[in-house]
């Protein structure tokens, strides 16, 4: 058994829960009583409406109780919320945007990954094991603003799963920064990154979320994806994912996070080794309406 085969939902859930606690995001919660009242009342009312409309029984109510307890025990609240709700929050947060479409962050982002300088024709290679499995991928493009200006030294954070669908720091036996990196573009906003083409990703099936998926007859798959955060001074932080055409789950992503604007167009690499993908990012300038979490 390889170390990755010992990966469990509970271990990955505990790591994702820890990461969320350390992220600083919880500090932003300010108890505005009117808003809490509005949201909590609406949520409780919606749940009561479902109970009455669907005539929910005591055994079903108790199954829900047991399941919610297990979500917490397995540390799967970050996974549950990011898979089934974050896409709507992301939609609300970015509806004003004129630049690039974004997508959800998900539970597996870690800041401050190793930094590499890159530029046009000067690819930097993401950290990977000497025997890392997968197809080589050269990922390159330019970062500009919605005003058409190149954004010098834009920062591109990239993280993705390995060929077995595991993320470093959320599964055992993987070096901490494997397939995670921070890439600095050149003076004209050009970047070039060598990594591997990720494989489709299945969310853990042995925890509470997996139990729900099995009980409901759903599937646990996300299409293969790259995660990104792209930023430049004076511009809104872009959190995005990019996808590969032909993936069987592009149309039924469990996390509802695929958008047509985020589809890559891989070509055979010029040097014959793997694929090349070209993708440009367009960032919105910060304005008075930009919320604090999109300012960097
Ligand atoms: C992932 O890899 C992911 O990107 C999301 C959104 C949820 C669970 C796992
Ligand atoms: Fe992911």
What was the pLDDT predicted at 3? Answer: 46
Q: What is the dihedral of CA 73, 174, 86, 288, to 10 degrees?
A: 130
Average pLDDT, the chain: 94
Q: Is any atom of ligand 1 closer than 6 Å to the C-beta of 180? A: no
Using CA atoms, how far apart are residues 104 and 257, in angstroms rounded to an integer?
6
Task: Give, for 47, the enclosing helix (H) or strand (E).
Answer: helix 33-54
Whether 6 has a pLDDT exceeding 80, the answer reads no
What was the pLDDT predicted at 247? Answer: 96
- Main-chain phi, psi angles of 226, to 5 degrees: -100, 140
- Main-chain phi, psi angles of 43, to 5 degrees: -65, -45
Say how many CA atoms lie within 13 Å of 208 toward its Cβ.
24
Segment 255-272 shows an average pLDDT of 95
Segment 267-295 shows an average pLDDT of 93
Sign of CA dihedral 146, 148, 153, 156: positive
Query: Per-residue pLDDT tens for 102-123?
Result: 999 999 999 999 999 999 999 9
Segment 86-111 shows an average pLDDT of 96
**Spatial contact of 108 and 47, defined as CB atoms under 8 Å apart:** no
CA angle 206, 239, 286 (to 5 degrees): 155
Segment 199-216 shows an average pLDDT of 95
Query: Which protein residue's CA is at the shortest distance from atom 5 of ligand 1?
Result: 106
Using CA atoms, how far apart are residues 150 and 236, in angstroms rounded to an integer?
15
What was the pLDDT predicted at 184? Answer: 98
CA distance to 49, 58, 61, 183, 212, per residue, from 55 (Å): 10, 10, 11, 53, 20
Segment 149-178 shows an average pLDDT of 96
What was the pLDDT predicted at 72? Answer: 97
In this structure, what DSSP letter does residue 122 have? B
Least confident segment among 19-23, 28-32, 63-67, 146-150: 28-32
Using CA atoms, how far apart are residues 203 and 296, in angstroms rounded to an integer?
30
CA of 222 to the centre of ligand 1 (A): 7
Whether 2 has a pLDDT exceeding 60, the answer reads no
What is the residue extent of each domain of the chain? 90-294
Q: Which atom of ligand 1 is nearest to the CA of 105?
A: 6
CA of 48 to the centre of ligand 2 (A): 33
CA of 61 to the centre of ligand 2 (A): 32
CA of 249 to the centre of ligand 2 (A): 13
In terms of pTM, does the model score above 0.85?
A: yes
Higher-confidence residue of 185 and 7: namely 185
- To test the ligand 1 pocket, which listed residue (78, 82, 164, 198) has its Cβ within 8 A of the most ligand atoms? 82
Whether 252 has a pLDDT exceeding 80, the answer reads yes
Extended strands (E) in the chain? 115-117, 124-125, 136-145, 155-159, 180-184, 190-196, 201-202, 221-222, 225-231, 238-243, 267-268, 275-278, 281-283
Query: Per-residue pLDDT tens for 45-57?
Result: 999 999 999 999 9
At 246, list the tokens.
Answer: 């032909």
Q: Does domain 90-294 bear CATH number 2.30.30.100?
A: no
Task: Give, for 55, the enclosing helix (H) or strand (E).
Answer: none
- To test the ligand 1 pocket, which listed residue (17, 86, 106, 242) has its Cβ within 8 A of the most ligand atoms? 106
pLDDT bucket at 270, cuts 50 / 70 / 90: confident
pLDDT bucket at 29, cuts 50 / 70 / 90: low
Q: Is any atom of ligand 1 closer than 6 Å to the C-beta of 162? A: no
């Amino acid at each position: 058994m390889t170390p990755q085969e010992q990966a469990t939902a509970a271990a990955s859930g505990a790591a994702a829960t820890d990461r969320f606690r350390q992220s600083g995001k919880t500090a932003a919660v300010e108890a505005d009583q009117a808003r809490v009242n509005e949201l909590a009342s609406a949520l409780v009312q919606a749940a009561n409406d479902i109970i009455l409309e669907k005539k929910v029984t005591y055994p079903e109510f108790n199954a829900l109780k047991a399941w919610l307890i297990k979500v917490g025990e397995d540390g799967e609240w970050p996974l549950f919320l990011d898979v089934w709700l974050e896409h709507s929050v992301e939609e609300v947060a970015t509806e004003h945007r004129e630049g690039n479409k974004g997508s959800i962050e998900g539970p597996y982002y870690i800041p401050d990954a190793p930094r590499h300088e890159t530029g046009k024709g000067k690819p930097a290679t993401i950290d990977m094991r000497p025997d890392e499995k997968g197809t080589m991928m050269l990922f390159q493009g330019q970062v500009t603003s919605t005003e058409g200006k190149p954004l010098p030294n834009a920062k591109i954070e990239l993280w993705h799963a390995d060929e077995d669908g595991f993320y470093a720091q959320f599964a055992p036996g993987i070096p901490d920064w494997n397939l995670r990196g921070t890439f600095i573009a050149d003076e004209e906003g050009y970047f070039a990154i060598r990594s591997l083409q990720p494989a489709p990703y299945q969310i853990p099936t042995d925890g509470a979320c997996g139990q729900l998926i099995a009980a409901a007859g759903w599937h646990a798959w996300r299409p293969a994806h790259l995660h990104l955060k792209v930023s430049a001074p004076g511009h809104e932080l872009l959190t995005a994912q990019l996808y590969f055409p032909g993936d069987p789950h592009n149309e039924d992503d469990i996390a509802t996070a695929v958008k047509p604007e985020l589809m890559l167009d891989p070509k055979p690499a010029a040097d014959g080794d793997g694929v090349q993908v070209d993708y440009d990012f367009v960032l919105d300038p910060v304005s008075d309406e930009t919320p604090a979490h999109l300012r960097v």
